Structure 1
Amino acid sequence: MLPSPGPAYVLHTRPYRDSSALVDLLTLESGLQRAVWRGARGQRRKLSPQPFVPLLVSFTGRSELKTLTQAEVAGRFALLQGQTLFSGLYLNELLVRLLVAGDPQPILFAAYQLALEQLAGGASVEPILRRFEWQLLDNLGYGFSLTEDAGGQPIEPHQRYVWHASDGLQPLFQPVSPDAGLSGAALLAMAADDWSAAGTLRTAKLLMRQALGVHLGDRPLVSRSLFARRPPSSRGDLQ
């Protein structure tokens, strides 16, 4: 008996053999799942793998690479264009690079779904990206406190901090400039999910770049380079 189909999104696809595709999917039940989508590029295909389209899918196979046996659209897809499109591709690439195949991530699945809805709905892009980056780190076990420093002391709004991969935030007692390090007030605003101050977004961008960089390694993100090719007036601030 074949398993019941479950919710999923296509994160990445590449050609495979004559008419098939290798797809990376974010699934509700098993997290990142890699599969062969047979006939995905054939002339008689009913559905092709497209990002941001909610699907119901099922698989067969015991190896890490499964075979897709069923796929159907399960709702309205997120229409992303321009800055929101590249932002969505950035989220997809983060998930492909950082998730372990077969590890269920239901909270991240819900966070990803919400992020797509917010991007498609015209919400401000930066808070969506920063919030998702933090949720990704936290759910993968890479999170750290935004309200206490490495010594267990409360983060002070007027103090500057530095982040270390080994133990988190540490006070910066002799900053070389007033803007050096990370603002304590911005860190507390991040913890409260308050993105109203521009300084919070700047601090969050710097902190997330540092924290994600530890786990992404030296290989650059393709989505970031695509975004950088846009005219300066339309780039916004992906990351």
Structure 2
Amino acid sequence: MDSSPVQSAFVLHSRPYRESSALVDFFTPQGRLRAVLRGARGKAGTLARPFVPLDVEFRGRGELKSVARLEANGPSHWLEGNALFGGMYLNELLIRLLPAEDAQAALFEHYLQTLPALAAKRPLEPLLRSFEWRLLSELGYGFALDRDVSDQPIAPSGLYRLVPDTGLEPVGQFQPGLFNGAELLAMAEADWSIPGALAAAKRLMRQALAPHLGGRPLVSRELFMNMKEPKRD
């Protein structure tokens, strides 16, 4: 079998496979790769956890590869509480939306920068919105936040609805699920000091992602919604 060059990688998800192996989804600059990790109950299995930066060598030409070598290339990003569920959410988005073996170097770099920000307990919602937006853009599903579908500037006092994969369409009168122009312009600048902008961004990203998730709910989102922050002494 052919071997690939050693790649930087993170584990997105793993599950038992046959007697002592694991079936692992990796995120690499070359995209999402699925591979069999043999001896998963040994040392290699302790490394095959999410949020651990890895060097991985894959073998095989087919879609299902095998792991030839697996080593840590840095300390694990320790996520807990809200940050842990945020990291699980990002991983689930990548598994659900990334095509297999579709190179995503820029998105991988963004993920690489997001994990330490999560570990440092930076405000969660802006990090998630930024990653969702980058994911949509890199997959070709992005749209302008400062111009409408007719390429007209977003009016701060205007009302708009999202047409998925197309853009923002002006609407003459109020309807449920609309976005006001001031919120959209704040999103375009990532200015979360504008009242309501962060909540509107969450709603917008949910609408934008929905057509690509196939109607199946995200497990991590449901867990996150049911989770309460641990009490601190």
What is the deviation of 1:54?
Answer: 0.3
Q: Which residue does 1:212 correspond to in 2?
A: 209
What is the deviation of 1:172?
Answer: 1.9
Counterpart mapping for 1:29-178 below 5 A: 30-42=30-42, 45=44, 47-165=46-164, 167-176=166-175
What is the deviation of 1:142?
Answer: 0.2
Return closer, same or farther for 1:211/1:71 CA change in 2, 3 Å cut-off.
Answer: same
Whole-angstrom distance in 2 between the partners of 1:2 and 1:136: 29
Whole-angstrom distance in 1 between the partners of 2:7 and 2:44: 21
RMSD of aligned alpha carbons: 1.7
Whole-angstrom distance in 1 between the partners of 2:202 and 2:60: 40
Measured against aligned partners, the alpha-carbon deviations of 1:53-81 in whole angstroms (never above 9, x if no partner) come to 00000100011000000110011221100
Whole-angstrom distance in 2 between the partners of 1:166 and 1:46: 39
**Contact 2:39–2:45 (CA<8 Å) still a contact in 1?**
no
Q: Which residue does 2:178 correspond to in 1?
A: 181
**TM-score when scaled to structure 1?**
0.91
What is the deviation of 1:46?
Answer: 6.8
Sequence identity of aligned pairs in percent? 51
What is the deviation of 1:110?
Answer: 0.7
What is the deviation of 1:7?
Answer: 0.4
Aligned letter for 2:159?
A: R
Whole-angstrom distance in 2 between the partners of 1:69 and 1:24: 15
**Contact 1:40–1:48 (CA<8 Å) still a contact in 2?**
no
Is 1:22 matched with 2:27? no
User: Which secondary structure does the structure 2 equivalent of 1:22 belong to?
Assistant: strand
**Contact 1:6–1:58 (CA<8 Å) still a contact in 2?**
yes
What is the deviation of 1:198?
Answer: 3.8
**Contact 2:31–2:105 (CA<8 Å) still a contact in 1?**
yes
Aligned letter for 1:35?
A: A
User: Which secondary structure does the structure 1 equivalent of 2:71 belong to?
Assistant: strand
Structure 2: segments with no counterpart, 5+ residues: none
Structure 1: segments with no counterpart, 5+ residues: none
Whole-angstrom distance in 2 between the partners of 1:122 and 1:93: 20
Return closer, same or farther for 1:34/1:46 CA change in 2, 3 Å cut-off.
Answer: closer
User: Which secondary structure does the structure 2 equivalent of 1:66 belong to?
Assistant: strand
Return closer, same or farther for 1:45/1:174 CA change in 2, 3 Å cut-off.
Answer: closer
Measured against aligned partners, the alpha-carbon deviations of 1:191-211 in whole angstroms (never above 9, x if no partner) come to 112222341111101110000
Whole-angstrom distance in 1 between the partners of 2:85 and 2:37: 24
Q: Which residue does 1:226 correspond to in 2?
A: 223
What is the deviation of 1:159?
Answer: 1.1
Whole-angstrom distance in 1 between the partners of 2:44 and 2:61: 26
Q: Which residue does 2:9 correspond to in 1?
A: 8
User: Which secondary structure does the structure 2 equivalent of 1:76 belong to?
Assistant: coil
Q: Which residue does 2:196 correspond to in 1?
A: 199
Measured against aligned partners, the alpha-carbon deviations of 1:33-66 in whole angstroms (never above 9, x if no partner) come to 0000111124x65743100000000100011000
Aligned length in residues: 229
What is the deviation of 1:157?
Answer: 1.1
- For structure 1, which segment, 18-27 or 185-194, has the greater mean C-alpha deviation from structure 2 after superposition? 185-194
Whole-angstrom distance in 1 between the partners of 2:215 and 2:15: 23
What is the deviation of 1:112?
Answer: 0.7
